[in-house]
C-alpha cells in the first residue's frame, strides 16, 4: 500500500477514535459481515474485498473507503450519476468504492440502515461525503458533507438519522419556531393595544413575569386583575413586582429601588390600564385591559413553560432573544446588539469554564452571557452548595442602560439568583485594579456597544476590550464579540489600543463569524480570545485565526436566521477540536501563526491557499497571456512586446512534483510600491504606451497612449481596488488608480516566463480571499504569503520557473501550429 494511502488511513482512524466510534480496519469482528465480504471484490470477480473501515453504531452499519488524493474522491458517469458500473471508477474513487461495499452488504447481511462514506485527502485538505443505502441496496440519499464523524457516534446517530435521512424536525426545533411565533405575537399586542415604546416592551414582559411568580407564591390567579375602580391592574402588578424583588432578597435597597423604578411604566401608562376590545388571533373578541391580556398571554405562553420545561433557563433565554429581536429599534440606535444564544454558549466552550470560575460581563444587556455561563458551570458540578455559590457569588455584570439593567436583573431573579451582582453603572469609569480586587473574575465575556467610537474615540469596541482585559485576574480568559473592523485597526487610535493590549495581554486567536450572526443589524463580527495579564510573546506565541462563516446557520425567506441543527453541530464540533489543538485543519479554515504589532487580527489577513498550483493552472495562465498577445498582434500593437527567439530547448519534462516548495512573504523577495495615477483627463491618444488598470481581462490593459511612461516594465501589477488581479507587464507603462506593482529584489531580472509563473503562484495563494469589503491593499500585499519552488539553498528557483513556463509556452504554441496545419494544410 502506498505511503500516502497509509497516512490517510491513520488520519481517518484518528477521526473515528476522536468521535468515540469503534471501527475495524479491513474487515469486521462480526461473522455475518465478514462472510459477506468474501464475495465483495471491487473488481466484480466475486472474490474477497474489504473496505478501509467498518463500524457498527447501534443498528447502523457504517462503511468507509478513503483515498489520499482529493481528485480521487468521486467519479460520475455521463448521466452525472455515481459510476458503479465501471470497475476502474469503483476501485480508484473513494465514494464509488464505499457505495459498492455498502450495496453489497445491504444485499448480503441483515443490516437495514447503512451509511457509506467516501473520504479523500488528508487532515489539512479533505472531503468526507456520506450516503445512505437502504435495505434493498439502493442508494437512497446523498447527505451533507461532514467535517468530523461525531454526528455518527452513539449519542448522535439516531437524531442524525431522523433529521438528515428521514427529514423529521426535532422537538427542540418545533419549540424554537413556537417561541418565535409567540415573541412576534406578543410584540404585536404591545404595539397595537398600548403603543408601547420599544425600550419599554421588555420591561413590561419582565415585570409581568416577576408578578406572575409572586402570584404563584400567594396562590393568586389572573382574576386578581379585575380593573377595580380603586386600584388599577398596573398598580396591582407593580405591588406584586415589589414584593417579589423583596422576597428574592435583591439588595442593596438602592439597587432594588432602581430596578423597581423602571417598572413604573406598568402602572403609569394609562392606555394599558383601560378596558378595550381586543381581537384574538382566532378572530374572537374580548373586553379586557391590555395589561391583563398581556399577563394571560405571558403566563400561558412563557411562564407556564418555564415552570414545566426542565431546562427553564434555556426556554426563557430563547424567548428573550426572540422578543428583543422584534423590540430592538431603540436598543440598536443606542449601539446595543443582543448576542444570540448559540454565541453565548460557544463563549463558554471556548473559555472551557470550570465550576469555580468567576465571570464578569461589563456590558451585560439582558444577561445572556451570565445566564449561559451559570448554566454551563452548574452543569459541571453535583455539589448543591457550589451550585448556589455560582448563582450568588460568581456572576458579575455592568449595564449602563437602566431599562436593560432592569431586564437583566429580572432575568437573573427568575433563575433563583436574587443576589446577582449586577450594577447599573458605566463600566469604562471603573478602575480595573479595583475590579480585580472586588470581583476577582477569572473570565470576562463581552459584547460591547457598537459604533460608539464614531461619537467618542474612547468608546471604540477595542477600547472596551482593553478595559475588560485589564479587569480580569492574571491568567484569566477574556472572550469578546466585536466588529471585524475593530481588530483590523482602521484608525491610528485603534492601532495604538491594539498595541497597548498586547503589551499587557496575550492574543490567543480570532474567529471570523457568519456574516448573518446579527441578522438585519448589518454588522460583520468576530470573536477574539485573550489571556489576561501576560504580555504577548511576538516571537514564539502561535495564534489561531479561524474562518467560521460557515457555521450551519442560514437566512431563510420570511424566517430570518435559521439553524441547520445537524450541520451546526458538526461545524461547531470541528471548530472546538481545532481550537483545542485536537486536530489540524486546512488553512482556509484555520491559520496558525505568530503576529506582528501592526497586523490585522483576522483569518483573511493571514490566510493563503497552501495547496500547490497544478500543471493545468500554469497552462491556463500561459494560454490567457498568449491569447492576449495574439489579440494585440491582430490589432497591430505588437510593439508592446519584446519578442525573443522561441525554440525547442527541452530534453527532459519539468515536473512540479519533483521540486521542493517553500512559503515566502511577498515583502521577503519583492519590492512593493504604488504607481503614479494617470487620470483620463491627462490621456493623449494615438501612442504606444500601455495604460494598465485593475481589470482581470486583457492583461489589465486599457489601451495605448502617447503619454510618456511613468512606470518601468518587467514587473507584476496588482489590482488593490477589489480582489487583487495580478498581471505581468513587459513594457514601461502608465496606470490608473489602485494599481500596485512588485518586482524581484536585488535587481534580479524578471521576464515574461518568471513573471507568469509568479502571477499564478500569487493568484493561487489569494484565491477568493479579497474583495470590495477586504481589498488587497499595499500593506496586505507585503504581508501576503505565497508558495514558490526553491533551489538547494532554499531560495526561489528562478531558473526552474523560467524553464517550466518556457516549456508550457512551447507546448501551447505547438498545439496551435498543429491545429493550423490540420485546418489549413496549404499554408
Given a cut of 80, whether residue 178 has pLDDT beyond it is no
3-class secondary structure for 396-448? EEECCCHHHHHHHHHHHHCCCCCCCEEECCCHHHCCHHHHHHHHCCCEEEECC
* Coil, helix or strand at residue 455: coil
3-class secondary structure for 689-736? EEEECCCCCHHHEEEEECCCCCECCCEEEEECCCCCCEEEECCCEEEC
Mean pLDDT of 762-789: 88
Q: How confident is the model at residue 109 (pLDDT cuts 50, 70, 90)?
A: very high
Pairing relation of β-strands 139-142 and 126-133?
antiparallel
Q: Is the previous residue joined to 252 through a cis bond, with omega within 30 degrees of 0?
A: yes
Q: What percent of the chain has pLDDT over 90?
A: 56
Residue with cell 458538526: 570
pLDDT in tens, 440-452: 999 999 999 887 7
CB 642 within 8 A of CB 636: no
- C-alpha dist (Å) from residue 248 to 204, 304, 392, 393: 19, 20, 12, 15
Higher-pLDDT residue of 403, 4: 403
Distance CA 296, CA 8 (A): 60
* Coil, helix or strand at residue 813: helix
pLDDT in tens, 809-825: 988 888 888 888 777 66
Grid cell in block for residue 193: 393595544
Grid cell in block for residue 709: 511612461
* pLDDT reported for residue 334: 41
Instruction: Give the side-chain half-sphere CA count within 13 A for 88.
Output: 1
pLDDT in tens, 207-221: 998 999 899 888 988
* Coil, helix or strand at residue 228: coil
Distance CA 41, CA 37 (A): 8
Distance CA 139, CA 6 (A): 28
CB 471 within 8 A of CB 362: yes
The DSSP output letter for 678 is -
Q: How confident is the model at residue 826 (pLDDT cuts 50, 70, 90)?
A: low
Stretch (H or E) spanning 479:
strand 477-483
Stretch (H or E) spanning 171:
helix 171-192
DSSP string covering 174-220: HHHHHHHHHHHHHHHHHHHTT---GGGHHHHHHHHHHHHHHHHHTT-
Average pLDDT, the chain: 88
Q: Which residues contact 149 (CB under 8 A, 6 or more apart)?
A: 15, 16, 18, 19, 21, 128
SS3 helix, strand, coil % of the chain, rounded to 5? 45, 20, 35
Instruction: Give the side-chain half-sphere CA count within 13 A for 572.
Output: 17
CB 249 within 8 A of CB 418: yes
CB 784 within 8 A of CB 766: yes
Least confident piece of the model among 283-287, 319-323, 602-606: 319-323
Phi, psi angles (nearest 5°) of residue 688: -120, 10
Stretch (H or E) spanning 591:
strand 590-593
Residue with cell 488608480: 737
Distance CA 506, CA 276 (A): 60
DSSP string covering 277-322: EEE-TTS-EEEE-HHHHHHHHHIIIIIHHHHHSSSHHHHHHHHHHH
* Residue 715 β-bridge partners: 729
* pLDDT reported for residue 287: 87
Given a cut of 50, whether residue 330 has pLDDT beyond it is no
CB 785 within 8 A of CB 607: no
Angle of helix 233-247 versus helix 253-262 axis, rounded to 10? 150
* pLDDT reported for residue 340: 85
Grid cell in block for residue 710: 511613468
Picking from 193, 198, 199, the residue whose alpha carbon sits closest to that of residue 233 is 193
CB 420 within 8 A of CB 407: no
When mean pLDDT is compared over 198-207, 322-331, 670-679, the highest value belongs to 670-679
CB 749 within 8 A of CB 721: no
* pLDDT reported for residue 714: 94
* pLDDT reported for residue 662: 94
Q: Which residues contact 226 (CB under 8 A, 6 or more apart)?
A: 233
Given a cut of 90, whether residue 197 has pLDDT beyond it is no
Higher-pLDDT residue of 724, 281: 724
The DSSP output letter for 395 is E
N-terminal to C-terminal alpha carbon distance within the chain? 53
Burial profile 709-727: b = 16 or more Cβ within 10 angstroms, e = fewer: bebebbbbbbbbbbbbbbb
Mean pLDDT of 424-436: 94
Given a cut of 90, whether residue 285 has pLDDT beyond it is no
Residue 423 CB neighbour total at 10 angstroms: 17
Strand order through the sheet with 701-705? 701-705, 689-692, 734-735
Q: What percent of the chain has pLDDT over 70?
A: 92
Higher-pLDDT residue of 616, 189: 616
Burial profile 570-607: b = 16 or more Cβ within 10 angstroms, e = fewer: bbbbbbbbbbeeebebbbbbbbbbebeeebbbbbbbbb
Given a cut of 60, whether residue 650 has pLDDT beyond it is no
* pLDDT reported for residue 327: 57
Distance CA 148, CA 130 (A): 11
Q: How confident is the model at residue 130 (pLDDT cuts 50, 70, 90)?
A: very high
pLDDT in tens, 549-599: 999 998 887 777 888 888 999 999 999 999 999 988 888 899 999 998 889
Contacts of the segment 177-182: beta carbons below 8 A, 24+ positions apart: 179/315, 179/318, 179/319, 179/322, 180/322, 182/297, 182/301, 182/302, 182/319, 182/322
Higher-pLDDT residue of 313, 808: 808
Amino acid at each position: 500500500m502506498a505511503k500516502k494511502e497509509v497516512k490517510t488511513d491513520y488520519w481517518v482512524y484518528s477521526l473515528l477514535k476522536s468521535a468515540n466510534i469503534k471501527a475495524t480496519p479491513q474487515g469486521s469482528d462480526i461473522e455475518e459481515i465478514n462472510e459477506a465480504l468474501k464475495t465483495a471484490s471491487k473488481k466484480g470477480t466475486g472474490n474477497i474485498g474489504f473496505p478501509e473501515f467498518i463500524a457498527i453504531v447501534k443498528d447502523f452499519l457504517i462503511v468507509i473507503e478513503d483515498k489520499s488524493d482529493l481528485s480521487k474522491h468521486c467519479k460520475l458517469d455521463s448521466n452525472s450519476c455515481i459510476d458503479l458500473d465501471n470497475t476502474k471508477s469503483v476501485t480508484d474513487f473513494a465514494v464509488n468504492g464505499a457505495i459498492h461495499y455498502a450495496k453489497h452488504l445491504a444485499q448480503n447481511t441483515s443490516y437495514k440502515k447503512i451509511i457509506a462514506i467516501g473520504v479523500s485527502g488528508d487532515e489539512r485538505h479533505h472531503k468526507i461525503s456520506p450516503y445512505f443505502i437502504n435495505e434493498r441496496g439502493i442508494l437512497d440519499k446523498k447527505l451533507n458533507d461532514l467535517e468530523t464523524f461525531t454526528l455518527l457516534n452513539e449519542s448522535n446517530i439516531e437524531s442524525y438519522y431522523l433529521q438528515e435521512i428521514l427529514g423529521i424536525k426535532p422537538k427542540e426545533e418545533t419549540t424554537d419556531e413556537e417561541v418565535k411565533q409567540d415573541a412576534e405575537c406578543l410584540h404585536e399586542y404591545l404595539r397595537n393595544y398600548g403603543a408601547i415604546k420599544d425600550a419599554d416592551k421588555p420591561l413590561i414582559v419582565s415585570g409581568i413575569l416577576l408578578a406572575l411568580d409572586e402570584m404563584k407564591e400567594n396562590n393568586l390567579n389572573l382574576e386578581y386583575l379585575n380593573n377595580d375602580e380603586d386600584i388599577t391592574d398596573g398598580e396591582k402588578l407593580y405591588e406584586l413586582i415589589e414584593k417579589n424583588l423583596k422576597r428574592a432578597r435583591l439588595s442593596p435597597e438602592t439597587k432594588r429601588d432602581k430596578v423597581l423604578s423602571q417598572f413604573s411604566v406598568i402602572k403609569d401608562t394609562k392606555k394599558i390600564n383601560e378596558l378595550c376590545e381586543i381581537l384574538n388571533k382566532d378572530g374572537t373578541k374580548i373586553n379586557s385591559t391590555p395589561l391583563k391580556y398581556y399577563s394571560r398571554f405571558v403566563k400561558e405562553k412563557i411562564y407556564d413553560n418555564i415552570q414545566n420545561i426542565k431546562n427553564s433557563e434555556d426556554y426563557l433565554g430563547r424567548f428573550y432573544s426572540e422578543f428583543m429581536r422584534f423590540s430592538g429599534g431603540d436598543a440598536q440606535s443606542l449601539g446595543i446588539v443582543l448576542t444570540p444564544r448559540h454565541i453565548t454558549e460557544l463563549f463558554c466552550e471556548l473559555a472551557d469554564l470550570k465550576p469555580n470560575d468567576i465571570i464578569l460581563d461589563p456590558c451585560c444587556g439582558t444577561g445572556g452571557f451570565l445566564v449561559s455561563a451559570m448554566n454551563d458551570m452548574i452543569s459541571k458540578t453535583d455539589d448543591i452548595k457550589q451550585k448556589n455559590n455560582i448563582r450568588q457569588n460568581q456572576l458579575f455584570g455592568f449595564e449602563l442602560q437602566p431599562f436593560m439593567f432592569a431586564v437583566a436583573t429580572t432575568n437573573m431573579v427568575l433563575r433563583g439568583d436574587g443576589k446577582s451582582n449586577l450594577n447599573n453603572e458605566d463600566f469604562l469609569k471603573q478602575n480595573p485594579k479595583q475590579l480585580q480586587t472586588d470581583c476577582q473574575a477569572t473570565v470576562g465575556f463581552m459584547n460591547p456597544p457598537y459604533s460608539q467610537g464614531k461619537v467618542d474615540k474612547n468608546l471604540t469596541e477595542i477600547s472596551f476590550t482593553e478595559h475588560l482585559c485589564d479587569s480580569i485576574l492574571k491568567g484569566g480568559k477574556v472572550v469578546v464579540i466585536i466588529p471585524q473592523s475593530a481588530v483590523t485597526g482602521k484608525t491610528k487610535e485603534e492601532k495604538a489600543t491594539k498595541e497597548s493590549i498586547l503589551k499587557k495581554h496575550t492574543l490567543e486567536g480570532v474567529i471570523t463569524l457568519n456574516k448573518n450572526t446579527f441578522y438585519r443589524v448589518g454588522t460583520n463580527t468576530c470573536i477574539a480570545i485573550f489571556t489576561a495579564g501576560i504580555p504577548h510573546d511576538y516571537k514564539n506565541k502561535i495564534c489561531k485565526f479561524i474562518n467560521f462563516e460557515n457555521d450551519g446557520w442560514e437566512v431563510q425567506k420570511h424566517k430570518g436566521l435559521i439553524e441547520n441543527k445537524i450541520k451546526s453541530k458538526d461545524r461547531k464540533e470541528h471548530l472546538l477540536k481545532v481550537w483545542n489543538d485536537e486536530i489540524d485543519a486546512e488553512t482556509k479554515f484555520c491559520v496558525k501563526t505568530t503576529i506582528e504589532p501592526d497586523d490585522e487580527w483576522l483569518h483573511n489577513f493571514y490566510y493563503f491557499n497552501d495547496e500547490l498550483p497544478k500543471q493545468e493552472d500554469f497552462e491556463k495562465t500561459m494560454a490567457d497571456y498568449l491569447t492576449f498577445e495574439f489579440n494585440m498582434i491582430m490589432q497591430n500593437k505588437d510593439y508592446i512586446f519584446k519578442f525573443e527567439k522561441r525554440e525547442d530547448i527541452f530534453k527532459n519534462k519539468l515536473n512540479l512534483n519533483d521540486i521542493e516548495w517553500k512559503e515566502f512573504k511577498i515583502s521577503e523577495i519583492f519590492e512593493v510600491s504604488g504607481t503614479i495615477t494617470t487620470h483620463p483627463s491627462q490621456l493623449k491618444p494615438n501612442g504606444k504606451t500601455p495604460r494598465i488598470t485593475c481589470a482581470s481581462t486583457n492583461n489589465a490593459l486599457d489601451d495605448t497612449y502617447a503619454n510618456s511612461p511613468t512606470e518601468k516594465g518587467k514587473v507584476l501589477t496588482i489590482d488593490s481596488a477589489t480582489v487583487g488581479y495580478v498581471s505581468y507587464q513587459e513594457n514601461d507603462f502608465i496606470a490608473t488608480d489602485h494599481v500596485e506593482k512588485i518586482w524581484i529584489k536585488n535587481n534580479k531580472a524578471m521576464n515574461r516566463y518568471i513573471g507568469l509563473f509568479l502571477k499564478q503562484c500569487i493568484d493561487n495563494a489569494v484565491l477568493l480571499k479579497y474583495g470590495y469589503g477586504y481589498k488587497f491593499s499595499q500593506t496586505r500585499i507585503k504581508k501576503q504569503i505565497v508558495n514558490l519552488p526553491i533551489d538547494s539553498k532554499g531560495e526561489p528557483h528562478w531558473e526552474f520557473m523560467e524553464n517550466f513556463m518556457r516549456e508550457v509556452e512551447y507546448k501551447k504554441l505547438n498545439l496551435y501550429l498543429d491545429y493550423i496545419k490540420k485546418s489549413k494544410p496549404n499554408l
